[in-house]
Amino acid sequence: MLEEKLQANGPSPRQEIVDGYCLFQGELRQLAEANVSIATHALNYGTGCFEGIRAYWNVSQDQLYILKAKEHYQRFLRSCRILKIACPYSVEELVDWTVKILTKNEYRENVYIRPLAFKASTVVKVTLSGLRDEVAIYSVPMGDYVKTEGLSAVVSNWQRVSDNILPSRAKVTGGYINAALASDAAATDGYDEAIMLASDGQVSEASSSNLFIVRDAVLVTTPITADILEGITRKTILQVAAELGIPYEVRPIDRTELYVAEEMFLAGTGAQISSITSVDRRMVGDGLTGPLTRRLQELYFRAVRGMEDAYEDWLTPVYRKESKA
C-alpha cells in the first residue's frame, strides 16, 4: 500500500510555480502570461477566495483522477457568494475547465489545483461592491503537503478567526494570515502543525486542515459551527465511518481531550489523512499511528487513486480512454 502511494507521489509544495497552462480572463493561457497589477484590490485587501483540489495519478491505470471536484467547486461558489464575487461559471463548467487544464498540461503525476476568484479592480476603496471580479484556475505537480505519519502538534496561542470577524467557512485569501501566523509559530518552535482554539476556548481545527480524535474507540470531530472551514475530507471521512459502522460523534472538543485522546489525525485535501502522535510534547495514545487512523488512511489512499470501486463516484477521470468494445 505504502509502496503504491510513494510510487505516484510528487514534488514538495515549496517549489515555485512558473509554467503550465491555466485559466485566466476566460481562456487557457500560459501561467507566465497570467499576471495582475500591483494595484489589484485582492492583492491589497485580501478580497479573494480559493480552493485547493487534488488530482491523483494512478500508474497502472494510466489515469489522473480529480478528487471531489464537484464538492470543491460547490464550496468555491459559496465562498464567492459570501464575498460578493460573481463567478461566471457553473460548477460543471469549472470542472470542465479543470479537466481541460490538466489535459493540456499532460500530467502523469499527482497534482494540486488552485481555483481563485478575486476582486480585480485597481481602486483604493475598501468594499466588496461595485468592483470587477476575476476567476482563474492554475495547477502544479504536488506530493504530500505534510508527512502523513507521526506529526507533532502544538495548541497555538493564535486563536482561530471567528465567523463574525472573518468568515471561517469561506476559503478567503486574506483569512490565511491567521493560519500562516499559527503554522509559522509552530514550525519556529519545532512542531509540525498548529491546533487552533476558537474564541470560546474549545478546539476548532488545525492551521489548514480539520481535526479528528478518537476517544473510547469513537471518532470525534468538531461541528461546522466551531469556526472551522467546512472540510470536504472531513465530510468524506464521516460518510465512510457511517458506511463502515465506525462509531462517530460531531461535537465540541475540549482542549484537554487532546491530552487523553487515543488517536488523532488531520483531515484535509493538502494534509490528506495524517496521524498526530504528540500534542504539546505529550504522547497521543501510545505514540504511534492508531488502528482506526491507519484503517481510514489505507482506504482513503486507495480510494483517491481509483482503487476502490465503491468510491468511484469521488473521482473525475481526466484522460479519455478508448472503449474496449
Ligand X SMILES: Cc1ncc(COP(=O)(O)O)c(C=O)c1O
Summarize as ranges the residues that interact with ligand X (CB under 6 A): 52, 179, 205, 208-210, 229, 231-234, 268-270
Q: Which residues are within 8 A (CB) of 91 and not within 5 positions of it... i.e. 6 or more apart?
A: 70, 73, 74, 77
For 133-287, list the strands marked E by DSSP: 133-141, 151-155, 193-197, 203-206, 210-215, 218-221, 248-250, 263-268, 272-279, 282-283
CB of 204 to ligand X, least distance (A): 9
Report DSSP state, residue 81: H
**Closer residue to ligand X (CB): 211 or 214:** 211
CB of 33 to ligand X, least distance (A): 28
Provide the b/e sequence for 142-155 (b: ≥16 CB within 10 Å).
bebbbebbebbbbb
The C-alpha cell that represents 122 in the structure block: 485597481
Residue 171 annotated in active site: yes
Angstrom distance (rounded) from CA 163 to CA 199: 10
Q: Are 99 and 66 in contact (CB under 8 A)?
A: yes
Measure the CA dihedral 230/233/236/237, to 10°: -110
Q: Are 207 and 183 in contact (CB under 8 A)?
A: yes
- Give the other-Cβ count within 10 Å of 251's Cβ: 12
Q: Are 255 and 203 in contact (CB under 8 A)?
A: yes
Q: Are 211 and 205 in contact (CB under 8 A)?
A: yes
Report DSSP state, residue 128: S
Pick the catalytic residue from 125, 171, 235, 321.
171
The C-alpha cell that represents 222 in the structure block: 468538531
Write out the H or E segment, with its range, that includes residue 100.
helix 91-105
